[in-house]
Every structure is written in structure tokens, then in C-alpha cells.
């Protein structure tokens, strides 16, 4: 009888994932991530987090789901496609595709709240917490464990059917569910396109990403600091984030446009040329990009990045 309940509850969870617009849903048993803990500790010890001090905080929470949700039994991982149907004009300052629409944190966080509410309504009292790239959760590890893909050489989760242009949402619950088989194989093979294409050599041969060298780190994470001179001429016109390692990935030939209207590109991102960006005032920036991930860099950060990519 218990098995029937678990099976029915799993069906409810996976049906809700479809209802809320997630393309994929996988479930893994909530266990401590000992191997990931060792990898993360080694990565931090080598200083690859750069100025991202928050990566060092709450280490025990990152590797043990029961520290985030007491009595955690299952980790539900869902993927939401953000690949845009349209593209900006060529030659303009480049922005990572995930930031072309409205801020995914707010959109997906709201979906997870409603999702958990419906789980309680349909199953009974379930304690849980939802996370989307803003809390100490190793979401790519959980996605791999729940059968949604593998972590590629570029550090991104890659789904064999749809590529890597996905946001990862995690829901940790104290509910036992059916668990999916992990993706045991690495389908990158001998391909090294992302390694060869990265202009700052942030993707190492040993499949480790040096976050302190990534263009996204310099254009988003580095706050109130000058971008090092040795990086001049290496950004290939990326003003906010970077998609190079995804653009060259063969698996992204399977990418299809998102169905989520909130991720539709903001008109200015499609239409602004370099003169428009340079002429942008702080007041206009706050108005146009009030719902955009670009607000994370703030107006001064965008101005700094613009000047840097125009400096030869």
C-alpha cells in the first residue's frame, strides 16, 4: 500500500512540473553529497571563486539537504528552458541569453511557491523549500543524480535531448518519492570545443572551471573593482555574462525556443546599438531594466563593462 502512495505522489509531483511550465523533472534521494563536498572544498582552496566570498559561506548546507529541510527525503529538480526565439542585431554589446527577458529568480521562485502549495493540497502536509540559483544548493549535482543530464566540460548541465539553455529549480521535501536513475555517462566524449573557444582560458583541461577567470565573473560578480588589464581584448564584446561555451557546444543544436512569455527579450536588448547603450542614463536604465537580471550589475557596473569592451 505504501508503494502505491509513493507512486501516486510521484505522479502528482511530475504532473505539477508540467503544469508550471518545466520541461523536465527528476527526483533523487536526499543524501549528503560527500564527493561533491570534497570537490567544492578543493575548488575553494584554490581560490577559483575569486571575489565571490558567498561561495565559502554555509558549506555544510550546500552538501547536506537535511540541513536545509529537516527530515528531507527527496530532492526534486526541474529544468525550465530560456532559449530565446529572437536575437539582437549583430555587432552590439553582447548579453548572455538568460538575461534577455525578465529576472528568472522572481519568476521561478513564484512558481515554486505555488507548486509546493499544490503539493500540500493534493498530498497532505509536506514540508519543503524551493531554490533557484540563490541559495546554498548544488543544483547541477542534483540534476545529474535525478537523470536530467550530465555536467559538461564547460560546467553546465547538458540534457541530451535539449542542450543546456535551462534554469535549474530545486525543491527539497520531506516526502518519499520514486527516484530516477542518475545519468551515469558523460556524453561530451573527446569534444573540447568549449575549452578551445574560451578566450580567458577559464575552462581547464581537468574539467574544472576557474570562476575567477570567467567573463561572467568579471562582468557580473566583480563588484566595485576594476577589471584587470590583462583581460583587455579578451571579452569578445560581452557586456553582461557570456554564452561562448554554450554557443559552441554541439548539444545545443537541439535547443528550441522557450514557451515562457516572461523570458521573451526586452525590446531594448533586441534593438539597442552601441550608441544607445553609451547614451543610456541611470534613470532610463532603472526604468527599462527594472525587471531584468541586468539590474544585478547596476548602472555603474554596466557602464564599467561597456567602457572595458571598447578599450583596445
> DSSP secondary structure string, 222-286?
--SSPPPGGGTT-STTEEES--HHHHT-GGGGG------GGGSPPHHHHH--HHHHHH--HHHHH
H or E segment and range at residue 8:
helix 2-19
Q: Residue written as cell 573593482?
A: 225
Round to whole Å and give the CA distance between 100 and 22: 19
CA end-to-end span of the chain: 69
Choose the catalytic residue: 133, 180, 186, 196.
133
What sign has the CA pseudo-torsion 54, 55, 56, 62?
Answer: positive
**Residue 67 neighbours by CB under 8 Å, 6+ apart:** 60, 61
Rounded (10°) CA dihedral 50, 48, 140, 68: -60
Nearest to 285 by CA among 274, 298, 296: 298
Task: Please classify residue 113 by burial: count the beta carbons closer than 10 Å to its beta carbon, then call 0-12 exposed, 13-18 middle and 19+ buried.
Answer: exposed
- What are the backbone angles phi and psi of residue 98, rounded to the nearest 5°? -65, -20
Is 133 assigned a catalytic role?
A: yes
Please say whether the beta carbons of 173 and 69 come within 8 A.
yes
- Provide the CA 128 distance to its chain's centre, in angstroms: 21
Provide the annotated active-site residues. Answer: 133
Amino acid at each position: 500500500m505504501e508503494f502505491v502512495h509513493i507512486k501516486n505522489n510521484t505522479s502528482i509531483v511530475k504532473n505539477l512540473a508540467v503544469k508550471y511550465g518545466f520541461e523536465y523533472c527528476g527526483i533523487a534521494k536526499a543524501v549528503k553529497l560527500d564527493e561533491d563536498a570534497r570537490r567544492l572544498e578543493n575548488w575553494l582552496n584554490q581560490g577559483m571563486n575569486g571575489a565571490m566570498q558567498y561561495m565559502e559561506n554555509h558549506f555544510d548546507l550546500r552538501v547536506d539537504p537535511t540541513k536545509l529541510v529537516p527530515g528531507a527525503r527527496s530532492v526534486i529538480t526541474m529544468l525550465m528552458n530560456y532559449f530565446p526565439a529572437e536575437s539582437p542585431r549583430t555587432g552590439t554589446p553582447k548579453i548572455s541569453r538568460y538575461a534577455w527577458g525578465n529576472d528568472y529568480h522572481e519568476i521561478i521562485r513564484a512558481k515554486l511557491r505555488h507548486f509546493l502549495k499544490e503539493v500540500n493540497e493534493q498530498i497532505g502536509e509536506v514540508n519543503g523549500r524551493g531554490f533557484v540559483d540563490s541559495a546554498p544548493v548544488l543544483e547541477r549535482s542534483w540534476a545529474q543524480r535525478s537523470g536530467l543530464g550530465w555536467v559538461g566540460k564547460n560546467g553546465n548541465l547538458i540534457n541530451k535531448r535539449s542542450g543546456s539553455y535551462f534554469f535549474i529549480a530545486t525543491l527539497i521535501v520531506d516526502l518519499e518519492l520514486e527516484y530516477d536513475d542518475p545519468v551515469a555517462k558523460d556524453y561530451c566524449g573527446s569534444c573540447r570545443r568549449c575549452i578551445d573557444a574560451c578566450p580567458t582560458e577559464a575552462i581547464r583541461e581537468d574539467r574544472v572551471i576557474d570562476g575567477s577567470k570567467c567573463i561572467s565573473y568579471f562582468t557580473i560578480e566583480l563588484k566595485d573593482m576594476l577589471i584587470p588589464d590583462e583581460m583587455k581584448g579578451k571579452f569578445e564584446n560581452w557586456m553582461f555574462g557570456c554564452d561562448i561555451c554554450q554557443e559552441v557546444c554541439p548539444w545545443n543544436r537541439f535547443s528550441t525556443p522557450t514557451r515562457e512569455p516572461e523570458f521573451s527579450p526586452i525590446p531594448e536588448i533586441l534593438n539597442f546599438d552601441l550608441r544607445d547603450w553609451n547614451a543610456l542614463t541611470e534613470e532610463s536604465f532603472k526604468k527599462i531594466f527594472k525587471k531584468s537580471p541586468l539590474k544585478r550589475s547596476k548602472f555603474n557596473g554596466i557602464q564599467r563593462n561597456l567602457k572595458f569592451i571598447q578599450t583596445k
